[in-house]
Chain A
Amino acid sequence: MSDDLAWVVPVVLTVVGSSTPLLLAAMGELVTEKSGVLNLGVEGMMLIGAVTAFAATLASGSHAIGIVAGAAGGAAAALVFAVLTLTLLSNQVATGLALTIFGIGLSALVGRDLVGVALAPLPKLAIPGLSDIPVLGALLFGHDILVYLSFVMVALVAFFLYRTRLGLVLRAVGDQHDAAHAIGYPVIAIRYLATLFGGAMSGLAGAYMSLAYTPMWAENMTAGRGWIALALVVFATWRPARVLVGAYLFGGITILQLNVQGMGIAIPSQMMSMLPYLATIVVLVAISRDRAKIRLNAPACIGKPFHPAG
């Protein structure tokens, strides 16, 4: 019986591989957006995270240092965005686009000597006993640390947002910044933290790409995943559990595309590569057409600058 199901394992593992960066980045962006900040620079932060994680791992020989560096790189990029939009009150849409353009350029510059360099992939964490169970062991307990972390983060973010006081404050800041300010909550400080968290998560998503998924560095290697992560947050109507479902749905579509190509079906590879992008548009339309649902769930102050005197 276990032999019959053995084919499932590699398929599931590849789906996990393509879903994890989406999940990490989208969870971070969810928290950022819940605080009322729309950071469109996810793609740029992921690339910066990917290249810093790769370079740090190469230099130190330690994946742990690489992962931390990736998160720090993403957070540093988010800090630039936060200073511009929160302190200097710049337009969030334009600043996010600038962050993406900048991130693509900076990561290409930093990584120009890293292209083609090989790196040992992030090791799978074997859990003694559990990982040895046939099929199930490989499915549930044969992943690397970032995969487990992505699931832990879903639970943590959900708990934080809906079960803690600080989470409530964060949502209040995102929904009614003037009222939150009047009560005495530090609107700008909370938005800074939420934006930095989003950046760190995007950085982790990038680190997963360059340390575990490929594992190597290539210019523009995220190929639009940052934008798909942004769409996932809307798709999930800003709910953590639905982000999880959405990320795995998209990861599955990406793998479907690869498998169809592998089976030698005569569809041009470019057509299959369009699938994730087309699917993003389809789900975005499916969710957005219900205006009431979007209005109920979207943070009311998203994208709006806050200035205490104004």
Chain B
Amino acid sequence: MIRLEPRPAHSPIMTWASPLLAVGLTLITGMVIFAALGHDPLISLEAFFIAPLSDVFGLTELVVKATPLVLIGVGLSIGFRANVWNIGAEGQFTMGAIAGGGLALLFYEVDSVFLLPAMALAGILGGMAWAAIPAWLKTRFNANEILTSLMLTYVAQLTLSWLVHGPWRSPEGYNFPETRLFHDAALMPILVEGSRLHLGALVALAVVAAGWLVMGRSVIGFQLRVVGAAPRAAVYAGFNAKALVWCAMLIGGGLAGLAGLFEVAGPIGQLLPNISPGYGFTAIIVAFLGRLNPVGVLFAGLLLALTYLGGEVAQIRIGMPAAVTGIFQGILLFYLLACDVLILYRVRLGRARARA
């Protein structure tokens, strides 16, 4: 008989051992799935997790994919710490891309060094505006932010689809649903010649550092942590709960919007109906795997980026279905949540002993 015995205090070792354990279990399960699909497990694993990293191009692609995950993940982890469940980051990402990309199209002929910063600002504001809706509905009307932010994701994606099929469609695009390619002044500077690695990666690093400072060293970060860990204590301390919800939502939305702008001004270079392979949702896993800690999010973002990259490589090299990436991500989060029980509980075998 297996039972759980509460620990007197939560285990700091397990807090960080749990993600490693979860990754290990996911790899083992992955091998079983590969075998079930009729692929050699070891060759598949190599194709999925090692081959993508064997050259410089692969490494730069990893960072390209990790950039949006880390940016969004840092924002979400701040919100989740405060028990604000913004799961509509995908929509905020899309709105940031629309706002910033729209600016690039508006000033299509303008060649100015200020264009890209203005687009980044527009991206942040677009994401913030989209996150402000659930924040307002939550603080003013008590509406569940999980459902409202998710519904707004569909609305954002349909808005993007309408724009690129309709008013923003490229006049030179042979009726394809896409906007014009952004001009050079509206594209992210490339860091490594011949790759897609762009300036956004450095911004993401700076955001990790800033997130760590805010959460660990600032009053607002302290308040956000308290309101999440002990809501009543926060009330007694006189923290403004509504302001904290706003704060968490706007940080999350702004960073997701910035990530969206980086994506369309970086690797994509124009607006398309589909600009994200689910970065906004995967970033939820990134936030949890990174222990809701900005530095942890950095590593988790790189790992989850590898599942995207590995999925692409395995698809080309051994004909692995693309859906395997999603399964890996889901299983990883399952294992992580299961292993997290070890932070608060000990697993004991045998029946409970009567305590003296």
Give A contacts to B, CB under 8 Å. 40, 80, 84, 88-91, 93-95, 97-99, 101-106, 108-109, 112, 219, 223-224, 227, 230-231, 234, 268, 270-271, 273-274, 277-278, 280-281, 284-285, 288-289, 291, 294, 307, 309-310
Contact of A84 with B337 in the complex, beta carbons under 8 Å: yes
Contact of A270 with B321 in the complex, beta carbons under 8 Å: no
- Interface code B16-41, partner A: CB below 8 Å = 1, 0 otherwise? 00000000000000000000000000
Q: Which of A94, A106, A281 contacts B337 (CB 8 A)?
A: A94
B144 at interface by CB-CB < 8 Å: yes
Nearest residue in B to A80 (C-beta to C-beta)? B334
Q: How far is the CA of A281 from the CA of B151 in the complex (A)?
A: 7
Distance (whole angstroms) from the CB of A268 to the closest CB of chain B = 5
6 extra A-B contacts, CB within 8 A, seeds A98-B330, A271-B162, A284-B137? A84-B337, A95-B334, A101-B282, A274-B155, A288-B143, A307-B4
Interfacial chain A residues near B146, Cβ < 8 Å: 40, 93
Interface residues of B in 316-334 (CB under 8 A from A): 321-331, 333-334
Distance (whole angstroms) from the CB of A267 to the closest CB of chain B = 10
Q: How many residue pairs bridge A and B at CB < 8 Å?
A: 146
Contact of A106 with B330 in the complex, beta carbons under 8 Å: yes
Q: Provided the pairs A95-B334, A102-B334, A310-B6 are in contact, do residues A90 and B327 lie with their beta carbons within 8 angstroms?
A: no
B165 at interface by CB-CB < 8 Å: yes
B288 at interface by CB-CB < 8 Å: yes
Q: From DSSP, what is the main secondary structure of chain B's interface residues?
A: helix
Q: Which of A278, A285, A307 contacts B137 (CB 8 A)?
A: A285
Interface residues of B in 112-156 (CB under 8 A from A): 137, 140-144, 146-148, 150-152, 154-155
Q: Provided the pairs A93-B85, A97-B87, A270-B159 are in contact, do residues A104 and B326 lie with their beta carbons within 8 angstroms?
A: yes
Nearest residue in B to A85 (C-beta to C-beta)? B337
The 8 closest A-B pairs by CB, nearest first: A105-B326, A102-B330, A108-B323, A270-B162, A90-B337, A98-B333, A105-B327, A109-B323
Interfacial chain B residues near A112, Cβ < 8 Å: 321, 323
Q: Provided the pairs A101-B281, A288-B142 are in contact, do residues A280 and B327 lie with their beta carbons within 8 angstroms?
A: no
Distance (whole angstroms) from the CB of A147 to the closest CB of chain B = 26
B173 at interface by CB-CB < 8 Å: no
Distance (whole angstroms) from the CB of B26 to the closest CB of chain A = 12
Nearest residue in A to B151 (C-beta to C-beta)? A277
B interface size (C-beta, 8 A): 50
Interfacial chain B residues near A104, Cβ < 8 Å: 326, 330
Q: How far is the CA of A273 from the CA of B155 in the complex (A)?
A: 8
B158 at interface by CB-CB < 8 Å: yes
Contact of A289 with B142 in the complex, beta carbons under 8 Å: yes
Contact of A268 with B151 in the complex, beta carbons under 8 Å: no
Nearest residue in A to B133 (C-beta to C-beta)? A281
Q: How far is the CA of A112 from the CA of B37 in the complex (A)?
A: 12
Q: From DSSP, what is the main secondary structure of chain A's interface residues?
A: helix
Nearest residue in B to A88 (C-beta to C-beta)? B341
Nearest residue in A to B352 (C-beta to C-beta)? A309
B284 at interface by CB-CB < 8 Å: yes
Q: Provided the pairs A91-B337, A105-B325 are in contact, do residues A277 and B330 lie with their beta carbons within 8 angstroms?
A: no
- 13 pairs of residues in contact across A and B, judged by CB atoms under 8 Å: A84-B337, A98-B330, A102-B333, A223-B154, A231-B151, A274-B158, A277-B152, A277-B154, A281-B147, A285-B143, A288-B144, A289-B143, A307-B6
Interfacial chain B residues near A271, Cβ < 8 Å: 158, 162
Distance (whole angstroms) from the CB of A42 to the closest CB of chain B = 11
Q: How far is the CA of A280 from the CA of B142 in the complex (A)?
A: 15
Interfacial chain B residues near A93, Cβ < 8 Å: 85, 146
B345 at interface by CB-CB < 8 Å: yes
- Interface code B335-356, partner A: CB below 8 Å = 1, 0 otherwise? 0011011001100000010000
Contact of A268 with B166 in the complex, beta carbons under 8 Å: yes
Contact of B330 with A99 in the complex, beta carbons under 8 Å: yes
Q: How far is the CA of A5 from the CA of B151 in the complex (A)?
A: 36
B5 at interface by CB-CB < 8 Å: yes
B285 at interface by CB-CB < 8 Å: yes
Q: Provided the pairs A98-B337, A101-B333, A284-B148 are in contact, do residues A289 and B141 lie with their beta carbons within 8 angstroms?
A: yes
Distance (whole angstroms) from the CB of B150 to the closest CB of chain A = 5
Q: Which of B147, B162, B324 contacts A280 (CB 8 A)?
A: B147
Contact of A274 with B154 in the complex, beta carbons under 8 Å: yes
Distance (whole angstroms) from the CB of A276 to the closest CB of chain B = 9
Q: Provided the pairs A89-B345, A105-B327 are in contact, do residues A94 and B142 lie with their beta carbons within 8 angstroms?
A: no
Interfacial chain B residues near A273, Cβ < 8 Å: 158
Contact of A97 with B284 in the complex, beta carbons under 8 Å: yes
Q: How far is the CA of A264 from the CA of B341 in the complex (A)?
A: 56
Contact of A294 with B142 in the complex, beta carbons under 8 Å: yes
Interfacial chain B residues near A108, Cβ < 8 Å: 321-323, 326
Interfacial chain B residues near A230, Cβ < 8 Å: 147
Interfacial chain A residues near B282, Cβ < 8 Å: 101
Q: How far is the CA of A284 from the CA of B321 in the complex (A)?
A: 38
